[in-house]
Each structure stands twice: as C-alpha cells, then as structure tokens.
Structure 1
Amino acid sequence: MADLVSRRDWNARAPRGDYTQLDSTRGVKVHYTGGRVDPGIVGDHNGCVSLVQSIQRGHMDGNGWMDIGYSFVACPHRKVFVGRGLHHLPAANGAGLNVGHYAVLGLVGNAGLVQPPDGMLHGILDAIDHVRERGDAGKEIKGHRDGYATDCPGEALYAWVRRGAPRPGGGGTTPPETPPFPGRLLKYPPIMRGEDVRTWQAQMRTRGWELEADGAYGPGSRDVCRRFQRQQRVQADGIVGPTTWRLSWEAPMP
C-alpha cells in the first residue's frame, strides 16, 4: 500500500466552502496533468509536492474551484496525496460526471514525463483500493476521456487502463504490450533526458544490448540505436522514432 500524504503534509490550502457529499460511485476515473511534467520529479519527491501545490493553485485561482479537483494524486514514489478525499465530490471529471466516479491523478503529462513509472501505477491502484475499501467506490476503472471530450489521461495511462490497469510485476507469461510512442524523437546531440528515454534504454537492455538505463540519450544510446536499426534493416540514423520504438518491443529476439 502506498504512503498517504495528508493535506497537512503537502501544505494544502483550505477549501473555500463545504464539499458536496459523495455517498458511493461506480468507480474511478484516471487523469493526467495535460501539461509538461518535469522528469526530475522521479528523483526528487519535493518536486512532486510542489507540483501538487501548483495544481491546487491552478484549480482554485485559475478555474475558480473551491479546491483541487482530484480526489487523490499518485506520484512516482508510490505516494498518494489526499486531494478532496473520501466521500467528497470531485470536480475534475467534467460537469455532470463527477458524481459517478472518484478522480485519481497520475503525475504524468503530455510532455516531459509521459510514461508512468511503476511506482506511480502502484500508487494509482493503491488509491483505487483505498476508495473501494473506505469510500464505497465500485469496480469501474475508466479514463477521463471515457464519456468526456479530452485527451486525458494521455496515451500511456489510457493504454494501461484499457489493458485492465494491471499491477506492475504481476507475473504471467504474456509479454508486455508495446508502450505508446512518447511523441518526440529521441536523438543526440544534444543529450535528451526523460522517462521515455529510460523506458527505451531498459527495453534495449532486455534485448541484450549493453546500455545503461540512465534516462539520458547520448552517444552510447545513439550507437546502440544505429546498430539495432541495421539489424532490423531500417534506416540507421540513430534516432528513435515511431518505427524504431515499435521494433524495440515487437521485433523477434535474435
């Protein structure tokens, strides 16, 4: 179970008014930030705290909401921030849709940190277990885009939701599906950093290439990419684009 970060611990602002009571729901809607998330939060939990505070400011001062719109927020360190909490109507699902589901945010965006680390997926599922056990939530796990016109929760999180939101490391013999292409070309120079780089590097290590999964796409990553591309008989430009990304998971092992 994730560590619950109380509102006091993340220095939340007090809500402006009383919450609307939420007796029970059909389940949970999963969200992402919709903006750029600094990949540095993966190694710095203080960055997660600052980001959650920033989201609350945006919701209260920008949207005019009484509080942060989410019920709970999960970060890469398997910690779950209490937003509006149990039995309180969220605001993030969309007008007319909030009564049906709790709203759980994963701290990934549409740029920067786009691939949810395992700790974040565990945190989202821990939050879901929490609202089921203590908040009378049903079994549904949906994406924000289900029933509402939005890109949220992003391709990576939504693909995970569509797979049934499995826990990382759950075992089984079925190989993992190819993660969605992160939306940017991984190339050098200059050095590119991010969880998308780390995800690709880790997969290449799984395939037997000598490459450190340090999240930095530099000359070593470019060299491995070129050799892999030659092996797969595609253009050896050292750039991880959609084709090379897909082959990294789907090409037969040599």
Structure 2
Amino acid sequence: MAIDLVLRRDWLARAPRGDYTQLDSTQGVKVHYTGGLVSPGIVDDHGECVALVRSIQGYHMDGNGWIDIGYSYVSCPHRKVFEGRGLYHLPAANGPGLNAGHYAVLGLVGNAGLVQPPDRMLHGILDAVEYLRDHGRAGKEIKGHRDGYATDCPGEPLYAWVRRGAPRPGGGTPEPSAPPFPGRLLTYPPVTRGQDVRTWQGRMRERGFELAVDGAYGPESRGVCVRFQREQGVADDGIVGPVTWRLAWEAPAG
C-alpha cells in the first residue's frame, strides 16, 4: 500500500513562524508518542485525529515556542500519515543536539486512554519510514525517542515494538496494491510528462475512462482526474497526488 499522506493544507496546519533548518540526510527515524491522554475515540473518528494533530502543533508553537510542530510525520489509527515538517527539514522533537541525527515520526498513542498502537497505526509509521528512506535520505535506523534521551517516550507498547525490530503487523510486509507514488504531483498547466504519467493514464484506461496513454498530463488527463476525484469523494483539484494515485488502484471499480 502506498503512503496515504494528509498534506499540511488538508489538516489546516498553521504556517511555520520561521525558516526550517535544512536536513540533508539522517541515520534513520525516531518514533514518538504524545505522552498524554489520547481519546480512544480517534480509532472510530478520523476527524478527532485531525483535531489532535492541530492541537499538538498549537502546543509546540505556543507552549514550547517552536516554529512549527516538532515531528516530521504523524501516523494515526486509520493508516493515514500527516505531513509535519516533512522532508529535509530538521525536527524539534528528538531533544537538544539529537534532531540532526534522525527524523521524528509520532504515533498517536499516549500514556493514558489509547495506549496500545493499533496495527494500522504501526503500518502508517512504517509507511512514513519507507517514505523518508525513499525520498528524504533517511538511514536504516528505527529507534525510540528514549534512545539517547531521558524520557519515557514512545511508551512501553510502542517501544517494545521498536525493540522487536519494528515488524509489519501480520508477519511481513504486505504487497502494495498500488505502485509507489512517483514523488511528484501530476499537474496541468503546464503539461507534465513522463513514465509516471503514462502509468497513471494506463490505469485510468483500465478503469474505463477514455484517455490517451501518451505520457503527457494535459487538459484531457486533468478532466479525467477531476471526474475520478468526484467519484471518490476527495478534493477535485485535478492534481494526481498520493491519495488520488493510490485510489486509482485501490478504490473499488464502479
């Protein structure tokens, strides 16, 4: 399964209060938890996940005085991954002197309420790790926040999973049903060209759309994208991003 990214604009993130410090590469990723009460209700209501991520950003900016949320990415129980500071930006959550060594990925569990990370959250953390390796030059390490810093984070259940080697739930890595997202948005105008465009166009032809498979994302491709997005109930912006790309393969055929 390709990463299911919730972009900053989609969770209504506040703009950072300054410029991020560039981060060219890392040894890997450190895993975090909230350290507070997390309502078990977020498991059944993704809207609560959005509200929680926004509240964490607010606390980090207004309470800690940071320029933004401290994490690179955040995983919720619905296997959605919220964009925090993102690729190549120094996180703030790992601790003084430790942020340049690892990206920071938060699992939305706490020390009360929702404590045990659901399988889909673990998958989301690993989706974020793989995304950071593929696109952000992250190394192979997966560690807990407490590794090298005096803290209980990421909590006993999540840290035990990290100590076991952070395995995929279910005994292995599931075969993705969609090819990996190409790492760039397919947009028009201007015309976007490439093999990734051809791959998406071919898939949309398989789904029954009349579309030339020519590797050029122009007005015809954008029109098909808008119709498909409306069918799926997602933002009809005519841009093939991670969610629209994934749905092209994984959404049930009409």
**TM-score, with normalisation over the residues of structure 2?**
0.67
Match of 2:110 in 1: 109
In the aligned structure 1, how far is the partner of 2:7 from the partner of 2:16? 14
In the aligned structure 1, how far is the partner of 2:69 from the partner of 2:55? 10
Match of 2:53 in 1: 52
Regions of 4+ moved over 3 Å: none
Letter in 1 for 2:139: G
For these two proteins, the number of residue pairs brought into alignment is: 172
In the aligned structure 1, how far is the partner of 2:68 from the partner of 2:172? 39
Match of 2:101 in 1: 100
**Equivalence map 1:68-87=2 (5 Å):** 68-87=69-88
In the aligned structure 1, how far is the partner of 2:48 from the partner of 2:123? 19
Structure 1 unmatched ranges of 5 or more: 173-254
Larger relative contact order (CA 8 Å, sep ≥ 6): 2
Letter in 1 for 2:81: V
CA contact (8 A) 1:28 1:141 kept: yes
Letter in 1 for 2:153: C
Letter in 1 for 2:50: V
Return closer, same or farther for 1:171/1:28 CA change in 2, 3 Å cut-off: closer
TM-superposition CA deviations, 1:165-223 (whole Å, max 9, x none):
00001259xxxxxxxxxxxxxxxxxxxxxxxxxxxxxxxxxxxxxxxxxxxxxxxxxxx
In the aligned structure 2, how far is the partner of 1:18 from the partner of 1:171? 39
Alignment of 1:35 with 2:36, yes or no, is: yes
TM-superposition CA deviations, 1:220-246 (whole Å, max 9, x none):
xxxxxxxxxxxxxxxxxxxxxxxxxxx
CA contact (8 A) 1:2 1:122 kept: no
Match of 2:247 in 1: none
CA contact (8 A) 1:36 1:112 kept: yes
In the aligned structure 2, how far is the partner of 1:119 from the partner of 1:5? 15
Letter in 2 for 1:102: Y
**TM-score, with normalisation over the residues of structure 1?**
0.67
In the aligned structure 2, how far is the partner of 1:134 from the partner of 1:25? 12
CA contact (8 A) 1:73 1:106 kept: yes
Match of 1:193 in 2: none
Match of 2:154 in 1: 153
In the aligned structure 2, how far is the partner of 1:131 from the partner of 1:143? 16
TM-superposition CA deviations, 1:107-145 (whole Å, max 9, x none):
000000000000100000000000000000000000000
Structure 2 unmatched ranges of 5 or more: 174-254
In the aligned structure 1, how far is the partner of 2:9 from the partner of 2:163? 34
In the aligned structure 2, how far is the partner of 1:72 from the partner of 1:147? 20
Alignment of 1:162 with 2:163, yes or no, is: yes
What percentage of aligned pairs have identical amino acids? 82
**Equivalence map 1:190-209=2 (5 Å):** none
Name the SS of the counterpart of 1:99 in structure 2.
coil
In the aligned structure 1, how far is the partner of 2:172 from the partner of 2:80? 23
CA contact (8 A) 2:3 2:131 kept: no
CA contact (8 A) 2:109 2:116 kept: yes
Name the SS of the counterpart of 2:100 in structure 1.
helix
TM-superposition CA deviations, 1:145-179 (whole Å, max 9, x none):
0000000000000000000000001259xxxxxxx
